[in-house]
Amino acid sequence: MDARTLSDRELLELEIETLWKRNGAGRLLRASLFNDGPAPDLVIAASDGAITVAFGPDIPEALAEEITVRGALATRRGLNLAFPRPPRDGTWPALIDDLRQRLSADLGPVEVASGPSYVCEGVPAGPLAAGLVRSEDVAADFRRLAPPEDANWEPWEWELLLNGKLGPWAAMIAAEEVVSLCFCARLTGTAAEAGLRTEADFRRQGYGVAVTAAWASQVLATGRIAFYSTSADNLASQRVAARLGLRPIGWMWQLSKSRV
């Protein structure tokens, strides 16, 4: 599938399908692949002039219909919610803050997370870097590699990853340790979502850019679309996207009832 044949709204809809599994009623159920935790109660994805919504199973049907209508009205009015940033006082765009309060009345305290979404429309040119290994380099012996210390990988997950069973990946190796890794945090038959982590002592050296470029090129070679998203306050991750020339397609809010 070629990302360039889809509109930004279609791409955001596809990214939602990549990030979360749905139940039989079409409600977002849980994260797909890694971190198999619950999905958000409400997802609002906004591109220029278009809003897409998706709901978790705890949203009452009447409330889901109300939010869907409000999203459609906002789209028709040309409300541009794409690429906003929360002001320093922590407030959100009026529609999002209103929906947060509306959900809180039914679900209790609701937390909001948001950030930009990007798509890779062509093979990105990452920096040449010694120590870069890729999942497609099947001749190399990667079994010696241990996961990053604080990555919370189960041994069986790490083995599946190294063997390429969880999709393409790319890693930067220094002193026989994985110091930067880009992998398929989510994977379907049509798309993959990047998961990127770089150890603190090895940041700002271009490793994140290098492994993400290598990951994306492998994903695109499978015919899938490569997505990359991050949080509003993760400027380092946004710089990785900018250096790779990934195209921003919109902004995604995730509203979830507090589980504290």
Whether 109 maps to a domain, the answer reads yes
Here the CATH number for the domain that contains residue 213 is 3.40.630.30
Helices (H) and strands (E) in the chain, counts: 6, 11
10 compared with 92, residue with greater pLDDT: 10
Number of domains in the chain: 2
Are 113 and 10 found together in one domain?
yes
- Please indicate, yes or no, if residue 123 is contained in any of the structural domains: no
Inside any domain, residue 36: yes
List residues bridging with 257 in a β-sheet.
Answer: 110
User: Same domain, yes or no, for 153 and 60?
Assistant: no
31 and 114 assigned to the same domain? yes
Does residue 86 share a domain with residue 143? no
- Residue 178 falls inside a structural domain: yes
Q: Do 86 and 159 fall within a single domain?
A: no
Q: Do 17 and 79 have their domain in common?
A: yes
Q: Which domain holds residue 188?
A: 132-247
147 and 243 both lie in a single domain: yes
Q: How many angstroms separate the CA atoms of 223 and 254, rounded? A: 28
Question: pTM for the whole thing?
Answer: 0.90
Confidence of residue 87 (pLDDT cuts 50, 70, 90): very low
* Mean pLDDT of all residues belonging to the chain: 85
Q: Residue 106 carries which side chain, given as an amino acid letter?
A: D
pLDDT digits (tens, 9 = 90+) for 170-209: 999 887 788 899 999 999 999 999 999 998 888 888 999 9
- pLDDT over 80 (residue 142): no
Q: What is the residue-wise DSSP string for 199-255?
A: -GGGTTSSHHHHHHHHHHHHHHHTT-EEEEE--TT-HHHHHHHHHHTPEEEEEEEEE
In a domain, 161, yes or no: yes
In a domain, 125, yes or no: no
What is the per-residue pLDDT for 88? 45
Q: Are residues 147 and 73 in the same domain?
A: no
- What mean pLDDT is predicted for residues 107-117? 92
Same domain, 68 and 25: yes
Predicted confidence at residue 89, as pLDDT, reads 47
Res 35: pLDDT: 60
Residue 26 pLDDT grade (very low, low, confident, very high; cuts 50, 70, 90)? very high
State whether 34 and 89 are in the same domain: yes
**What is the Cβ-side half-sphere exposure of residue 238, based on CA atoms within 13 angstroms?**
13
In a domain, 126, yes or no: no
pLDDT beyond 80 at 229: yes
What would the mean pLDDT of 135-144 be, rounded to a whole number?
68
Q: Read off the pLDDT of each residue in 3-7 and give the average, rounded to a whole number.
A: 90
Residue 127 inside a domain? The answer is: no
**What φ, ψ does residue 89 adopt, rounded to 5°?**
-85, 0
Same domain, 234 and 170: yes
